[in-house]
Structure 1
Amino acid sequence: MVSRALGALHQIDRAVTTSPEPLPNIEFSFVVSDIPDSEHQHRTSWSLTRLAIDEEMWFMPDFGFWSWPLDLVGSYEQIRAEMRANEVVWEKKVPKALWRGAVKTNKVRNSLVRASQGKSWADVHEVKWKNRTDVAVGSAVLSMADHCNHQFLIHTEGRSYSGRGKYLLNCESITIIHKSEWIEPYQTLLVPSGPHQNFVQVERDFSDLGSKIQQLLQDPEQAKSIAHNSASTFRDRYLTPSAQVCYWRQLIRSWAEVSFRPKPWVLVGGKKQLRGIPFETFVVQALHKGHVPCSVWKTFTLQCR
């Protein structure tokens, strides 16, 4: 959780310090767990995902837009650069549907394995983890950049949402997504049909996966159009680091419109001192101690320059 929180805070710091105009002072709570409100108590906070019933949750960008602490993933900007440097044209991509992941995480993944087992169009394999950071020997694991070598990339939910979606959408391939329960900020940009279609939607049990892939294999021009629309919408625009900076700034402005304005200064011994801890100091303490005390999280306040 600490690495996730630091990833989010680094994004906020970048958005604030590079802002061309001052941003309002705000105070907020944010949640970086996969399931932000398991009891549906309708608390108002910033989260990575939510269900439709949890309307009080405000979306913030996924921590992975900064970096994942795994060698297979790593820095978001590094991943994007590697994808662009190594991606091949559509005709040279493998004409199969690719998926790698832990099956036990969500029952929809078991449905995917069953629907694709033994199919000539499928490259679907389970990845077994030895621990939180290392995969088991023999697992058919692939780097995120290597995913772009396939024409079709399957995205499934995980414990709730799955952070891999934004990486798949950085490939000029077709991302196939089942009907989802968990919502992410960019999902309103997904277009399932028409001239601007930029992904392929399938049922949660993947019962129509095979037929939709066969249709696309038989109509390569339509398939290439969907892949191009996806790259134009996501890779080249809304999932760029600069777009995430804009999103954070708008989130701060919108929050300020409905929230109170905290006072950044307090009197201590007759002198004004900043409330909370400056971000730069906060990060240094986290690195030095190897963890961040809970008491620090409770008092962190964002003072926008």
Structure 2
Amino acid sequence: MAEHVKHVLGDQIIHGCFPKVGVARLKGFVSTTTIFIFCFFLLAIAALLNWMDIPIIQGLPLGQARSSEIHHESVEFPFNCSNLVNYPSVFEPKESSTNGTCPDYFRWIHQDLKQWKSTGITEDMIERGKPSADFRLVIVNGTAYVERYRMSYQTRDVFTIWGILQLLRLYPGKVPDLDLLFFCGDDTVIKKRNYKGRYAVLAPPVFHYCGEKAALDIVFPDWTFWGWGEVNIKPWEETLRAIKKGNERIKWEKREPYAYWKGNPLVSRDRRLSFMKCNLSAKHDWNVRLYKQDWGQEIQGGFKHSKLEDQCTHRYKIYIEGVTWSVSEKYILACDSMTLMIQPKYYDFFSRSMVPMQHFWPIRRKNRCKHLKFAVEWGNNHPHEAEAIGKAGSKFIEEALTMRNVYDYMFHLLNEYSKLLKFKPTTPPNAQKLCSETTEQGLWKEFMVQSIVKSPSDKPPCALPPPFEPQAIQASLDVKENKTRQTETWETEYWKKLKHKKH
């Protein structure tokens, strides 16, 4: 009985007690009084389950509910049949509660918004950016509205919007009014070359999952933090827990002494398809083991061979971009294996603060098979140093990329963005009001239940650090360049010695 009611109430939290269509159909069969009695009955059962400490909205088996790091369990959003969920309208953290200073990568928020610092953002800029966007998101008085312009790939837009809704639940009334455009595709869309000189004031602000040196896209956390249903990747907290557990199965020194990569090579001929030439063959052994991921076959087979926690079996893991940046980056870095990062062109919101030889080993794109072979040879000859780099990269992901930090990054980015608006946001005529109900089913619904924010935060967001000074950015770039050159020097000396031995 309890399990059945838990399932019913879990559906109601997501779908709403009675969607409008459902209410209309119900009234054709029963009276309003009957509906009220039934609703009251559900609330009574919910209260009983809560008193019995039976979880009803975490999406986990009875007795296995976990409290997320960003949720305190003392106050939960009340369940209300007539009004779906009563969101608190005011953010009220505990007295004297603090959350420290945000991680260093938050400072890039200022840099990403620098283009509009002097001009501000006008409605005209928003209008000009619409052809580059998949949807427009407007927040007015804590309520979110979305206007869709085109279909995005898979459910990227759905889970991105879901994440923003969870931010509103975490910090109710704290997110300011704003009006923004979002692109869910792969390549960057606002190219700097189109907005030089006098045209700089025309650049539209568009949010996106990645950026590059030649673009103005505003970098935002990607959709997979709330789950990627199409390939069975769970929300980030669940996935990270599984990978950490997978790390414990095989100690670093017992892992295969090769570089591992598994993915879809067909998404990029220039990057990944040619990369497959580095695989073991009759002629060459580049110390690399590459595996093609057939997602069609995996879907049919129930994703038995694509679990990320089962892929921490080698001492080294390779990160290579796909069409552009890849969401695989955080999963690869979390594996405790030393990440061999093939020189990326693109970056996400956290990667710009990672340092070569501290968090990963840099690999040049040209002659990458040869560079990969040397990196593995170096690691096997310097196991303590290689293991330390792998663990430092994993620690960075575990500590700097908590969901609390993800939400705080979103909060500060949106807050700083809103300060640049030169107009008062209003609801677009074709926009749809958003709330925490959804028509998604299957894994999509399961992941939303897992990632739902149950109650407001009991402490404020972390404190946003100041912008980088120009010389600090250059100093950071110099450090990265010097460390990369050091590996190149080691490699040059290695091949010279090897050639000398052969002769």
Match of 2:388 in 1: 225
Q: 1:141 to 1:108 in 2, by over 3 A?
A: farther
Q: 1:151 to 1:34 in 2, by over 3 A?
A: same
Q: 1:122 to 1:263 in 2, by over 3 A?
A: closer
Q: 1:135 to 1:169 in 2, by over 3 A?
A: farther
Render the CA deviation track for 1:237-256: whole Å, top value 9, x for unaligned.
Answer: 22221111111001111101
Match of 1:82 in 2: 242
Query: Are residues 1:143 and 2:303 paired?
Result: no
Q: Partner letter of residue 186 of structure 1?
A: F
Q: Partner letter of residue 152 of structure 1?
A: Y
Q: Secondary structure at the match of 2:259?
A: strand
Q: CA RMSD in A?
A: 3.0
Note the 1:1-305 alignment, pairs <5 A: 1=152, 3-19=155-171, 22-37=174-189, 43-55=204-216, 57-88=217-248, 89-106=251-268, 107-118=270-281, 119=285, 121-130=287-296, 134=299, 141-193=305-357, 197-205=358-366, 206=368, 207-235=370-398, 237-260=399-422, 262-263=424-425, 276-280=431-435, 283-284=437-438, 287=440
Query: Which structure has the bigger radius of gyration?
Result: 2
Q: Secondary structure at the match of 1:29?
A: strand
Distance 2:348 2:400 in 1: 13
Match of 2:15 in 1: none
Structure 1: runs of 5 or more not aligned = 267-273, 289-305
Render the CA deviation track for 1:105-124: whole Å, top value 9, x for unaligned.
Answer: 22222343222333273221
Q: 1:209 to 1:53 in 2, by over 3 A?
A: same
CA contact (8 A) 2:222 2:327 kept: yes
Q: Secondary structure at the match of 2:229?
A: coil
How many Å apart are 1:20 and its aligned residue?
7.3
How many Å apart are 1:233 and its aligned residue?
1.2
How many Å apart are 1:150 and its aligned residue?
2.1
Distance 1:22 1:264 in 2: 18
How many Å apart are 1:32 and its aligned residue?
0.8
How many Å apart are 1:100 and its aligned residue?
1.1
CA contact (8 A) 1:26 1:256 kept: yes
Q: 1:149 to 1:261 in 2, by over 3 A?
A: farther
CA contact (8 A) 2:188 2:212 kept: no
Q: Secondary structure at the match of 1:204?
A: coil
| TM superposition score normalised by structure 1 | 0.79
Distance 1:23 1:126 in 2: 43
How many Å apart are 1:276 and its aligned residue?
4.4
Q: Partner letter of residue 335 of structure 2?
A: C
Q: Which stretches of structure 1, 4 residues or more, deviate above 6 A after TM superposition?
A: none
Using the aligned pairs only, state the percent identity: 18
Distance 1:66 1:261 in 2: 31
